[in-house]
């Protein structure tokens, strides 16, 4: 069964690099260039894991996560950002969202393996509300 990963980032090079790195068996990568676009794709269904940049023009990543959780989106969300602050990490925690620093691709890969292969879910019960 193929797992669909949605990469959301306003920078094309970031999307390209993740698309190239995540070419693994069983994974399919789709892309969105903004938070608004990501919302649409998630609502349409078929997104299994969301990899979400935080600092973007328009909707910020954490706001996308908040909206989706509010709408009952229960799939894993990874906030993948160069601009994590303790406040954002705390909000991510509340929303059952993983926060991963952008330069740390190893952690991103570990987290992705956790959520896809081991079926690990982050405090999922409290998340959907």
Partner 1 sequence: MPDAAQDSPDGLLVEALRQLADVQLELEGERLRRMSVEGLFEEVLSAMSDGLILVEPRGRVWRVNKSAADLLRRTTEEMVGKRLRDVLGPGVPASTWELFQRDRRGRLEAVETVVLRADGEKVPVSLSCAVITDPDGKVVGAVYAARDLSQTHRLLHELERAEARWRLLAEVGDLLGEELDPRDALPAVCERLSEATGCHAAVILVREGRFVEDIVLGPGLDAPVSELVAHPLPAGTALALVVRGARVVHAPTLQPDFPLGIPGWPARSAALVPLMARNTSLGALLLFSEQPGAVGEPAVGVSELVAARVSLALANARLRESLVELEAAREAAQSRQDVIAGLSHDMKTPLGVISALIEGLREDGSPQERERMYTAMRRQVQRLRSLVQQFLDYSRLEGGHHLVVHTQPTDLAELIDRSVSTWGRNHPIEVDLEAGLPRALADSERLEQVLANLLSNAVKFSPPTSPVAIAARRVRKTIEIKVTDRGRGIPPADLANLFEKFHRGAEARGTQGTGLGLYISKALIEAQGGAISVTSRVGVGSTFTVTIPSVP
Nearer to partner 1, 17 or 91 (CB): 17
- 55 is a contact residue toward partner 1 (CB under 8 A): yes
Query: What mask of x and - would describe binding to partner 1 in positions 65 to 94, judged by CB under 8 A?
Result: ---------------x-xx-----------
Residue 45 CA to chain centroid, in angstroms?
15
Q: Which of 58, 117, 123, 124 binds partner 1 (CB under 8 A)?
A: 58
CA gap 58, 35 in Å, rounded? 7
Q: Which is nearer to partner 1, 25 or 119 (CB)?
A: 25
Which strand (E) or helix (H) includes residue 30?
Answer: strand 27-32
**Cβ–Cβ under 8 Å, residues 26 and 2:** yes
Closest residue by Cα to residue 76 from 109, 106, 111, 110: 111
Contact 66, 92 (CB under 8 A): no
Binding region for partner 1 (CB under 8 A) out of 36-44, 54-62, 68-76, 88-96: 54-62
Applying CB under 8 A, the residues found at the interface with partner 1 are 11-14, 16-21, 23-24, 55-58, 60, 80, 82-83, 101-105, 109
């Amino acid at each position: 069964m193929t797992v669909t990963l949605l990469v959301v980032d306003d920078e094309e090079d970031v999307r390209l690099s993740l698309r190239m790195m995540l070419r693994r068996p069983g994974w399919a990568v789709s892309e969105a260039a903004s938070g608004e676009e990501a919302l649409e794709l998630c609502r349409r269904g078929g997104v299994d894991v969301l990899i979400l940049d935080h600092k973007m023009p328009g909707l910020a990543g954490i706001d996308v996560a908040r909206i989706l959780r509010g709408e009952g989106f229960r799939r894993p969300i990874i906030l993948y950002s160069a601009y994590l602050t303790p406040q954002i990490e705390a909000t991510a925690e509340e929303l059952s969202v993983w926060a991963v620093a952008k330069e740390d691709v190893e952690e991103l890969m570990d987290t992705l393996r956790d959520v896809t292969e081991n079926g690990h879910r982050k405090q999922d019960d409290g998340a959907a509300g």
